Amino acid sequence: MKQVYLLVLGLLLAVGAAAAERAIVKVTHDLPSARLAETVVVPWAEIARALPGALIQHLTVRDASGHSLPYQVTAIDPGAQDPSGIGGAYGELLFQHDFAAGEQSATFIVEKSDAVAPVFPSKVFARFVPERLDDFAWENDKIAHRTYGPALAALAAPGSHKEVLVTSGIDVWCKRVSYPIVDRWYNKGGEHYHHDEGEGLDMYGVHTSRGCGGTGVWVGGKLYVSRNFETWRVLANGPIRAIFELTYGAWDAAGRQVTETKRFTVDAGHNLDEIESTFTVVGDAASELTVGIGLNKSSADSGQDPVTTLTPVAADGSLTQWIVQKTNGALGTALIVPADAFAGFAEDASNQLVLARVVSGRPLHYYAGAGWSKAGEITTAEAWNAAVAAAVLRARHPLNVTLIP
């Protein structure tokens, strides 16, 4: 009897040891439609509890078929400490899954590995570009963007011929390839990235408009906007998700001084980025504001004879543009505001706007992005509007993620 007891105890200990080497992640949702490139997010604290001593470079993530998946571990708080050596400085484990139509649950295994995990090719990228007058640029495998920093807004010295542009609008770079192009295009020099040489081009006009998703404070039928961003910081940079923040100095909004911090979350496989924008009224922490999020009315290249279709959908808090151009293909842009913040539509001389209610110091979450017909995936206004409607549903029906030790 004693031998049997010891045998059972040994088996239980072995099972316990094995359990500490792997954990199961179950993901469910309630939409019948397909959900491609869904990012699964597991707090690292849960991974650390389920897999004591887990190291981010010694992990494997597998789907139900046993295929190894690319993954990422974020470290959002640069000042976080980890005195116990349990990964306290890490934020989240990320990986992606394509849910087929009707597939409403999926199971994954996260396990320790003796081998060092491979370097996964990155599908996202974000960086400050001081060599181009303080641009900040970002991209994923679908589309790219940039916005403008302090050096571009600075006055030009006499005889320098430096470009000067004061704007907090957001630019669009149209890609026809899935690999990163931001550095490649900046390294071309001159105006090469304004011409399609096989990878796409920058054909979008921003000027002093809101571009594709820039913001301002809406008061009395007028939009009050900030200058170029003042500071930046990158919080995560691939391979699946890039996160960065831009801050904007105080500006006058009909007699109130307002500042703004934008945090962008850029995921692989998505045309729209999630933006968390926090407006703060200086000296009035509880103040309420109406903000306008814009799409430029006149973004097409000169000589392109654009024909623009605008589709506002109040029930979705969404606004789409579809701009058909003579030779540069068609460009879709879009905004989505959550239902609890949506305050209608408006326009000024430069922008079509979605209005949103905000409280000083509290973040507004919204989505902005673009798609280009020459990328070959979204080629009609109907397809673009359907893609945006699907993004609304995904935002309203998030994944449910459970870790089973």
pTM reported for the whole predicted model: 0.93
Please tell me the predicted confidence (pLDDT) of residue 141.
98
pLDDT score for 373:
98
pLDDT on residue 302: 84
Interatomic CA distance for residues 271 and 273, integer angstroms: 7
Domain of 199, CATH number, reads 2.70.98
Last residue of a domain, one of 103, 119, 135: 119
Q: What is the pLDDT of residue 193?
A: 86
Whether 129 and 29 share a structural domain = no
In a domain, 93, yes or no: yes
256 with 333, same domain: the answer is yes
Smallest Cα–Cα separation from 90: which of 74, 104, 106? 74
pLDDT of res. 76: 74
Please tell me the distance from the alpha carbon of residue 345 to that of residue 208, in angstroms, as a whole number: 20
Residues (pLDDT < 70) of the chain are 1-20, 78-88, 190
Same domain, 294 and 322: yes
Q: Are residues 102 and 151 in the same domain?
A: no
Structure tokens at 336: 């989505």
Cα–Cα dist 283/116, whole Å: 51
pLDDT at 19: 47
Q: Domain with 110 in it: what CATH number?
A: 2.60.40.1180
Q: Are strands 222-224 and 212-219 parallel, antiparallel or unpaired?
A: antiparallel
User: Would you state the pLDDT for residue 17?
Assistant: 42
Confidence at residue 94, expressed as pLDDT on a 0 to 100 scale: 98
Both 234 and 307 in a single domain? yes
The pLDDT of residue 79 is 65
Is residue 9 in some structural domain?
no
Are 203 and 271 members of one domain? yes
Q: Residue 145's domain spans which residues?
A: 125-396
Does residue 341 fall inside a structural domain?
Answer: yes
Confidence at residue 14, expressed as pLDDT on a 0 to 100 scale: 40
The answer on 81 and 170 residing in a single domain is: no
Which of 22, 39, 52, 37 shows the shortest CA–CA distance to 92?
39
Q: How many domains does the chain have?
A: 2
The domain boundary, picked from 99, 119, 139, lies at 119
67, 86, 119 — which closes off a domain?
Answer: 119
- DSSP conformation class of 33: S
Structural domain includes residue 228? yes
- Four-CA torsion 170, 171, 176, 179, nearest 10 degrees: -60
- The gap between the terminal CA atoms of the chain, to the nearest Å, is 31
